[in-house]
Structures are given as C-alpha cells and as structure tokens.
C-alpha cells in the first residue's frame, strides 16, 4: 500500500489492510492482540488524515486508492 506511506504510519497501514479485507474493528484487535479502543483510535486518526467523514468513506477511499496503484 505504497500510496499511503506518506499519509499514514505503519500501524495504520496495517489496519487499513485489514479493513480492505472486511475485518471488523473487534476482529482486527484480536488479530493484532490489542484492545478495540486502540484500533478505534487508529481508525479515527486515519479518517482525520484522509478526510473521511465515516467508516464507509474511509473504506471507499482505501479501495479506490488500492485499485489505482
């Protein structure tokens, strides 16, 4: 996900990969062995950095960027 390297930190890129594979926040938290609150905080940061208003916007943006690479 080279297109995100400038905007997101490595952990956020890792979470974005899970989001693109339709993982829930809870499932991502289990996979990464952290709390759901930590994942939610990363997602909020990603939404702010990528100017997404909600989770749907964020995932849509990620999918669009992935297809363009």
Q: Where are the domains of the chain?
A: 2-68
pLDDT score, position 1: 63
As a whole number of angstroms, the distance between CA 31 and CA 67 comes to 25
How far is it between the farthest Cα atoms of the chain? 32
CA angle 61, 67, 69 (to 5 degrees): 105
Q: Crossing angle of helices 36-49/10-20, nearest 10°?
A: 100
pLDDT in tens, the chain (69 residues): 666 777 899 999 999 999 999 999 999 999 999 999 999 999 999 999 999 999 999 999 999 888 876
Domain 2-68: give its CATH code. Answer: 1.10.10.10
pTM score:
0.89
pLDDT score, position 7: 85
pLDDT score, position 37: 98
């Amino acid at each position: 996900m080279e297109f995100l390297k400038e905007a997101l930190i490595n952990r956020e890129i890792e979470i974005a990969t899970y989001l693109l594979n339709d993982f829930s926040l809870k499932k991502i938290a289990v996979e990464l062995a952290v709390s759901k609150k930590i994942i939610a905080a990363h997602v909020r940061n990603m939404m702010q950095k990528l100017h997404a208003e909600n989770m749907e916007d964020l995932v849509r943006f990620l999918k669009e960027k992935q297809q363009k690479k």
